[in-house]
Structure 1
């Protein structure tokens, strides 16, 4: 009887311990990773801005029409658009890789499997969790991320200031006491107190005290929406995507600004299958970024010659500087 009672108590103790552990894990905050996450949010904001109607129209009508681009790169507009699309897709892939690593810390199983769902969406357009946001919702997310990035950057500066004050105070205490130094120590201690209060206040407002599930949810929904926007802009696929997207845009391809910015329509049915082996969306785009072996890019000389062209242009505009 005593043994049975002891076993019951042991079972309750273990159960309570596990519940406490689960609770603490669920409440785990991102902490120092807030700075990395703020960096990811900043990159997402840049990608979203790059895919705005205004930016895309300027890319098509101005950047791709430059004489230098036509002479040095290509005069094929569809090829140039393909390069722009591939570069943006590669940037999205890199950010998604970082999000995938952080998502493993989430409690939500769907968020933990972000990499799998993201690849599925990239290759087929199948958004099984409805993570793609409308333009209106994405704008709200954009403002929220911008706010978090700003406050987290401020926190970083204030934490550096806090560290500086702590170091100064420690050095002052190492020397022999005097009336002047005691006054300085008192001033530093007061300053240290208020600086700690400022840091505490900023931690409560920024990403520092937010849960992994909360911040990863913002990142995931944003990058899904950005990828959807990329496909809509460069491929015009608004109602669903084929199982395998082309590596570059066709000769008749063009940029499609959003006709109805308040809505997105994406496939939510079963994934399409193909008898041919599918090439992933990101793999097909990455191939376009690999320069042929006979080019300067393959020889890692593109940047060198680009700098030479800039110098020559300056010399032509200001011949008096030559010599």
Structure 2
């Protein structure tokens, strides 16, 4: 299977029909292949996620990630300034995304008549074990670009079909409603009803046309074959880009020996995703033994593990390897936290000393965004806006803000330096603008990350690259983040007080 699969991937074999995307056809009957039908929408969604992953791994995107994103002040100060840690985190998340897509491709592949596609899970397993020579998988090859353009065209047509079906369903519901009132309608209204019926008939013809040009009428073999190729290409690209920073990935330049039968039986989502704490976190995080007399900490940069609890702090364990078996420890402040942990294992790796590990990343992001509105567009905030912002804070931050404000006003009363309210307010405004310049982007990306992952549960045909967790507040140091939020809120209160005094 490996040799024939490589012939298919490289296009070197002339014996394989160009419309067949994996070798080993197990049937010889002339019956027409099964078409996707209603599964066209899930297939289009999966294709969109694949294109999104493909675009996120281009040279331009990787260069932007290394030179701009990871070097930004907010990420360097709150998350980490260790390039190895951030790249390992990005690698783990991209592998997680690809694994989730591969699960869907494998499920759709079971409906294919082609043997190779039907056993996609075994082929993907071999790829992740390094059995398949990935040196022959060209990321930017012209054939791959043609496949991407073909997938984009079919996604667009399927999106039009989806919109047309939704519109048709609404019109048919309106028609049924009007039909119930038909006996009470006058001649003019009956004419309108005829017009609606004609319009529905036209939309039905349009839907049939869209079905013919979209994935609806495409065979399982053809569609899954396209996605299987891109899955292989993306995995090879991940190994090329992140391999120097993650020794757990197979080499793109070597073809390793055949694995043992024991390893071969592993589910493909487990293979090469059993990342140890030190492989993901490098020198940033470690396994920390917390005891009364012995505390070991090798972290030199990034968020500091929480020392308030005794016992072993584990970021990932063997029982968490299966994507369908994840616990839900302490998700507070975010109702979607438990679901997100089950769907994204990298999401659950954040330790308690981080904002995400405490389950309040979205809550703090909303606080920061609300504070940004108060500073830049105060006219959009109502009379009770300040109270609403204050109520968004957890109890510990409320207490900290009150204490810091009290100390500030006591100090100002003792100094009585004669400064007017205008100059004091402007001073605070400049300080807040400087903080929000690096803090607000993390909050915006946190909301975007959550929105993009929530859209994945519904029909979403957007193929643009998604936000990475390293760009959000999820892995931000909790103490540093809370200190920055307190400074922002104290500054807003001082601006409000000084301007009112003036």
State if a TM-score over 0.5 links the two structures: yes
Q: Which moved more, 1:300-309 or 1:76-85?
A: 300-309
Using the alignment, how far apart are the partners of 2:141 and 2:79 within structure 1?
A: 34
Match of 2:221 in 1: 213
Contact 1:247 / 1:284 at 8 angstroms: preserved in 2? Answer: yes
Q: Indicate whether 1:33 and 2:39 are aligned.
A: yes
- Alignment partner of 1:105 is 2:111: yes
- Quote the Cα distance in structure 2 between the aligned partners of 1:247 and 1:270: 16
Cα drift, residue 106 of structure 1: 0.8
Label 1:183 to 1:311 Cα distance change in 2 as closer, same or farther (>3 A): closer
- SS of the residue corresponding to residue 284 of structure 1 reads coil
Partner residue, 2:350: 291
TM alignment of 1:94-173, pairs within 5 A: 94-126=100-132, 135-173=141-179
Q: Give me the TM-score of the superposition, normalised by structure 1.
A: 0.74
More helix by proportion, 1 or 2? 1
- Count of paired positions: 275
CA distance in 2, matches of 1:180, 1:148: 43
Question: Partners of 2:137 and 2:167 in 1: how far apart?
Answer: 39
User: Is 1:191 matched with 2:199?
Assistant: yes
2:333 aligned partner: none
- Asked whether 1:281 is paired with 2:272, we answer yes
Closer/same/farther in 2, CA of residues 120 and 285 from structure 1, 3 Å limit? farther
Aligned to 1:59: 65
For 1:73-116, what per-residue CA distance to the aligned partner results, in whole angstroms no more than 9, with x for missing partners?
A: 11111111111111111111111111111111111111011112
CA distance in 2 between counterparts of 1:162 and 1:91 reads 34
Contact kept, 8 Å, 2:131 with 2:257, in 1: the verdict is no
- Tell me the CA shift for residue 179 of structure 1: 1.8
Match of 1:73 among 79, 103, 121: 79
The 1:197/1:145 distance shift into structure 2, 3 A limit, reads same
Alignment RMSD, CA only? 3.2
* Residues 285-321 of structure 1, C-alpha deviations (whole Å, 9 max, x = no match): 8983323354443332344444455556675129668
Equivalent residue number for residue 243 of structure 2: 235
In the TM superposition, what are the counterparts of 1:264-279 in structure 2 within 5 Å?
270-271=257-258
Q: Distance in 1 between matches of 2:194 and 2:276?
A: 61
Stretches of structure 1 that go unaligned for 5 or more consecutive residues are 1-21, 238-244, 249-264
Residue 196 of structure 1 deviates from its aligned partner by 1.1
Other-structure match for 1:246: 247
Q: 1:281 to 1:152 in 2, by over 3 A?
A: same
CA apart distance, 1:122: 1.5
Q: Relative contact order (C-alpha < 8 Å, sep 6+): which is higher?
A: 1
| Cα distance change, pair 199–127 in 1 and its aligned pair in 2 (3 A) | farther
Three-state SS of the structure 2 residue aligned to 1:191 is helix
CA contact (8 A) 2:47 2:155 kept: yes
**The residue matched to 1:200 in structure 2 has which SS?**
helix
How far apart, in 1, do the equivalents of 2:254 and 2:205 lie?
49
Q: In the aligned structure 2, how far is the partner of 1:33 from the partner of 1:185?
A: 33
> Is residue 181 of structure 1 aligned with residue 189 of structure 2?
yes
Q: Deviations over 1:26-64 (max 9, x none)?
A: 522100111111111111111011001000000000011
8 A contact 1:132–1:221 mirrored in 2: no
Q: Write the distance in 1 (CA, Å) between the matches of 2:242 and 2:189.
A: 66
